[in-house]
Structure 1
Amino acid sequence: MRKVTKIQGNESVAAKKNKLRVAAYARVSTDNVKQLVSLDVQKHHYETYIKANSDWDFVGIYYDEGISGTKKDNRAELQRLIKDCEDRKIDFIITKSVSRFARNTTDCLELVRKLTNIGVFIYFEKENINTQYMDSELMLSILSSLAENESISISENSKWAIKRRFKDGTYKISYPPYGYDCVDGSIVVNQKQAEVVKRIFTDALSGKGTERIAQELNSDGVPTKKGGQWRANTIRGILQNEKYTGDLLMQKTYTDETFTRRRNKGELDQYFIENHHEAIISHTDFEAANEAIKQRGKEKGVKKDCSKYLNRYPLSTKVICGECGSTFKRRIHSSKRNKYIAWCCSKHISNIEKCSMIYIREDRIHEAFILMMNKLIYSYKVMLRPLLQSLKSTDYAVNINQAQAIESKIEENAEQLKVLVNLMTKGYLEPALFNSQKNELIEEAKNLKEKKDMLYRSINGEVNRVTELEQLIKYVSKTDTILEFDEDRFEQFVDKIIAFSPTEIGFELKCGITLRERMKR
């Protein structure tokens, strides 16, 4: 009698073949910190949501940062998602809403039809629409039209209101330029910053260029409005801003019908108000300073907005004194035999008693950079990859959940304040009680915002470190020995240089690590 052995089929393989390959698409329309953290929350949600379904295989998350949804061509990740669908890598897509996917009816329907024709369907969470079960495109067409019209309506209403305020002179500048503060809707001179503005105009009138003015302000430790470094283009913006004369020119820029921000070169009316606020600079000095800048541009053969106005040297503003924290300046040193370029601490130059750090030759810095990069090329597997693995293994879920919880509390706080105002308006609350409770809510909102911003900075800082480190590893893993200084690679990977001594410097890389190198004198 024949013996028959029954072999069980591989159920896991069969099940896997039947699983849907699912991807998610997310987008935020601005690139500020709050919105990028919102994007992180969406990514975390979709990854958890898809992996929790045993009938689905998680393909990945496609996301666009800081890009408007009004045109699909602007979104590289959306285009990559469609390409992967066409290559049969994806069966099903999940996205938050029609407005997140597309705010243009034509684009939305075109994409849905294209994907449906190749057997790929989309689930819109907010509207609870699955394109696989749609009898017609009517509902999707209505929803996408509403999303598009909402975007246009919001934009047009805002433009109309702003234009009306332009015409009647009631438009209020919410974020005045350096040298001014906004107090109860009015522009008021900030006396401390105003002195810096006067210094900038005086320096320009004395013949100094914008780059030199910026370097000297940085050397003297003068902070910008946001506490950053002064740049040549920042100085130029101040010198060309008519607000410092007390006048106000409105509608210098505008948003066109394609939702693109443009400089107004006569396409729309502009509105000019004389003596709108207190002046810091006279009209005579303003015109003379601008004429001086134009003349310097003509002499150098450079036009406005040209990149030559920016930092001319790779090391400009990047070499920091490890002793006093000042920025190094470029100098030409001469000896009996030759000339060479050196970088010197600006405080040491102005007062040798306040800082003892002496100069560092530029060619020695270049040699140290070459040596550091070659070390990374030959040992990146030991030095960089473990760090990348460690950063990637960091669980952001705790911070993301905390951010979500704080967002909810901020919304609750706003609702409570709204209720409080309504009660006061209807006469149900005494003014003293209203003011007391209102102040408590405002203080609570302030503390919540500070906590939220701290979380945003923490999350985005770590995410940026991973990106920078991946780029560095990609470069060194495919590069042979470096024999000469490469300006492009220096700009790409180095944030700044700390001069610990004339013979030792530290390269602070954009990925967050600092590597020290010794130099010859």
Structure 2
Amino acid sequence: MRAAIYARYSTDLQSDASIEDQHRLCRRLIDGNGWQATQTYSDRGLSGASHLRPGYQQLLEDARLNQFDAVVAEGLDRISRDQEHIAAFFKQMRFQGIPIVTVAEGEISELHIGLKGTMSSLFLKDLAQKTHRGLEGRVRKGKSAGGITYGYDVVRDIGANGSITTGDRRINEDQSEVVRRIFRDYSHGLSPRAIAANLNEEGIPGPRGTWGASTIYGNHQRGTGILNNELYLGRLVWNRQRFLKDPNSGRRQARPNPPEEWVIEDVPDLRIVTDDLWHSVKKRQEQTRNTAISDGIRKLGRTKRARHLFSGMLTCGCCGGGVIQVGKHYYGCSTQRNKGTCDNRLTIKRSELEDRVLSGLKEQLLHPDLIAEFAKAYQEEYNRLAGSIQQERGKAERDLAQVESKIANLIDAITDGMFHSSMKEKLTALEARKSELQDTINSTSDAPPVMLHPGLSDVYREQVTNLTTALRDPSSQAEATSIIRGLLTEIRLVPEDGEYTIELVGELAGLLALGASQNEQSRPEAACSTLCSTQVVAGAGFEPATFRL
């Protein structure tokens, strides 16, 4: 009688020798019955809850071809732990006239299928519950529940009992800077696809080698993707979803858990991005998703991003319609081209428009009143930061005194013979804290803050002069473009005497109006420079405002 042997073990944590041990026991049973051992089938490191195992599937295929007369295994749970699968396997072998014999149970009957199948299913359920409980305990201690997040390194330390700690992480400085760059670029208007392309072009390795748009954007509901991972904010969120196995494909399918089942722990030492940067990204994500109209149909082109500096912001000063790209390098009135109801036939070259606006901005921003306003705001912020640094130094000095006092008390206790192993860990932690506080104190000056920066005017002029360069530099283009577009709500192109006069509308116009003299604003031709709202905006005047260049 030809007997086939099947052996399996579940995880990589088990010894590979388990297969040979099972083979040895099965051959002993075969020899005892006077049978002949033929094929052997095995699956290493594969769960018995799945039937998608190479060795198991080959066993089924050879059974259909009558390659053997009996199946021998150490136990029924080695063949499968799923009730449905083990019942199907039993029916298939019974149809082929092939008995199933195990070392533990003997020849398998319907009774074994019912009882052992139920016991195996209960075992899997109990194992899942215990695993889930253990992972939750680790998360509540601020440790990782498995895997490693981009931006962090695994920390392996030896504990007091000699065991190696698991679940600890620390920030990877190089990767954390990439994370902050991704958040900044997205908040400044770059798409996830463009961010991924830039990172790949620069040869920066991603979590799985190369970067993709889905790696960056992910799924906001499930908290996946770089931009949705709250661990970068110093919050560890676990149990957002559970996994169920599809009975047809055998693949795991994610199902979201209700928020009340989530486990959330604060881990401030793992924070990478600031609150302001996080909220800026969330705001843009919300705006991107909020593109549906009342009937649920998405407006075509609503989420299309601007290809050029002022795309989508240009309007015709005659009809109020949009100004669009009418050629490869020119802008013109869309109403005149599409409907013919506007008399404005003028066009303007895109590069000329951008140069005129930027040149006009540089000229207006160098007005003495604006330089004075910049110096005032700069000095206020400089003094505020200097004051906070002094407060931080004072707090560090007080904390250092407390730490040194605790160290002295521990040393006195050890000297008096009151030593315990936990004292060593405490003393090590205090010494590390002492070194950290000393570094903080040494890095801050005890001199009073300078109340007047000597070169503020020169700094301001240099930044304004480099405005065009910043908008052309790939490293700063996204941020500079985002700032300018955020300060402007509209750019009107008004045809006058065969050429365009440009009017800026928005907060930036209000800022420029601060630099216009009263005499200039009193002239009729400069009426568009006056402010046209009663809502006060601190530091910039009124909003919205219109300014003519």
Question: Is the radius of gyration larger for structure 1 or structure 2?
Answer: 2
- TM-score normalised by structure 1 residue count: 0.41
Report which structure shows greater RCO (CA 8 Å, sep ≥6). 1
- TM-score normalised by structure 2 residue count: 0.39
